[in-house]
Chains A and B, each alone.
Chain A
Amino acid sequence: MVAVRKVFIVTHHQKTVMASGYIVNRGVLTFGIHYRHVCRNVLLTQTREKKRWMKAYTLLMERKLKIEGPPPPKPRAQKPNWDYHAEVLAFSRRLKESFSPELLKTAFVNPCYIQSEQERRQALGVDSETAALVLGDNIQLHTQGLEFTKSFVSAWCRARFPSLPSMGVVAIVAHLTSHPVVCHVARNLAIEDLTMCAKFPVPDEVLHSTFLAVIGALQESSGAERAGLFLRDFLVTQLVGKDLFEMWPVVNPMGLLVEDLSKRNMALPEPRLTRSAGAGTVLPLYFVGLYSDKKLLAEAPGETVLAAEEEAARVALRKLYGYTENRRPCDFSAAEQARAPGLQSLSSS
């Protein structure tokens, strides 16, 4: 009954409302309908009261979200407040490096992006002469950066851990230049925002090559020394808290230990059971010590005697290579002084 009356009152008042602007009609007090003239012949109504359709609409949208899942992520460049040039300049200032802006912008451009842009222009029917795509690739910078990174990191490792064999150095370099580590570093340096790529989210290989291209650009703009410091500060610090054999999978540590000891002309390691507890129980514990010429090399625990012996071989290797947990921490603070030995080894290698 009330609803019918409402409609009736609205139609009755429409004529009077059109003649004079905003009229306080009885509907305001009872039904909360407000009228506003946009112009003489257009009338906007709004209800400021509680909207009865709101709950159904919200529930429907939530159900839709549950079925379809969240919307796909958008690159930062397509969200509001983005100025590419300012972002590139801020990138170089934030890292306290002086990049040349053109080289840096070239480093961010990937071949997949150039390809997709050209396809888009062809699809839109834009003439290639009128709107030429003048963008350079980052492939050359990428190869340059990769080569420099590998040589710098292996030189740094050799200088810092002189007794580490070349297999170990190769393994550490491979770990530091691997996709997971490099992409982690790149994502936390905001390189992903600035990368120009066909797909979003940026695939790991593209991000990896973009990071190395940035290193190449830094090397060309500021020289090998600054690029080396950059790598030391951002890539080599990822070694902090990592164990040697996490990065270097060694299958036969005992064989490696035997090789190393024979190279140093020390006696071969003899394993001896030093301590044991709970031998007949579900959780036995055996400590095996490795002795070379009756002097203790390393001692380690394990659930079985063989496991303890393998672990002891690993501990002995860590001690020999100087990669123990209680070693002196690497000095990342000194800018030029610490660089000097690395520079020498770099020039020699």
Chain B
Amino acid sequence: MTSRGTPSRFLQSVLQNGVGRYVCQLKRISLIFSKNGQSSLGAREFIEEGVVDFAQKNPGTVVYVSPQSCRIPKIVAEYLNGNVKEEAITSKTSQQIAELITKLTNQSGLDIIRIRKPIHTDSPSIQGQWHPFTNRPLSIGPIGPQKQQTN
């Protein structure tokens, strides 16, 4: 909608991730699929071929695979900051599901909303923030335009 009508946040990281060591923010991923449904075909293929490799490559993420009778197969991703993201993988191919899971692994758990600025800094000014008194001679009294020095 509009920038004022929709939520927004500043660029940030969870717990200064990356300043010290990098921690993968995805803690748990659950694959909910059906054993017999048509829409879970991609999910079943992915579980046959790709899920074990994924779990081995990301040892910090716990992978749960739960076959249930459900109409829509889902991936539920839980992040370290507590956010839970559900994605439906109805009628997706195994390749698409693998890409989706890679995308979820690389996200931090912060909300996907408009980021107000693409930058963040804790030391915005090195030489001192400019204010109207910078580079002016000291004076107490009314402020006026500086007298131009001749030559």
Contacts and interface: CB of A to CB of B under 8 A. Distances in A.
B58 to A, nearest CB: 9
Contact of A80 (B59, B66, B128): B66
Interface in B93-149: 122-128, 131, 133, 136, 138-141, 143
Interface residues of A, number: 38
Contacts of B47: none
A188 B127 contact: no
Contacts of A275: 133, 136, 138-140
A189 B15 CA distance: 9
Given A80-B66, A94-B60, A275-B133, A185 B15 contact: yes
A240 B122 contact: yes
A81 B30 contact: yes
Contact of A81 (B64, B126, B143): B64
B30 A326 contact: no
A233 interface: yes
Contacts of A156: none
Interface in A210-265: 232-234, 236-238, 240-241
Chain A interface SS verdict (over half): mixed
A108 interface: no
Contact of A94 (B20, B23, B124, B136): B23
B80 A190 contact: yes
B134 to A, nearest CB: 11
Interface in A261-305: 273-277, 287, 301
A326 B19 CA distance: 18
Interface stretch (A18-26, A83-91, A160-168): A83-91
Interface in A50-72: none
Contacts of A277: 143
A233 B21 contact: yes
Given A81-B28, A81-B30, A275-B139, A188 B122 contact: no
A96 B58 CA distance: 11
B62 interface: yes
B2 interface: no
Contact of A96 (B16, B21, B30): B21
A275 B66 CA distance: 71
B139 to A, nearest CB: 7
Contacts of B70: none
Q: Which of B20, B64, B127, B139 has the most CB of A within 10 A?
A: B20
Interface of A: 80-81, 83, 86-87, 90-91, 93-96, 184-185, 187-190, 193, 232-234, 236-238, 240-241, 273-277, 287, 301, 325-327, 329, 332
6 contacts: A90-B62, A96-B23, A184-B15, A275-B139, A325-B125, A329-B122
Given A187-B82, A274-B140, A276-B141, 6 more contacts: A80-B66, A81-B76, A90-B27, A240-B16, A275-B136, A329-B122
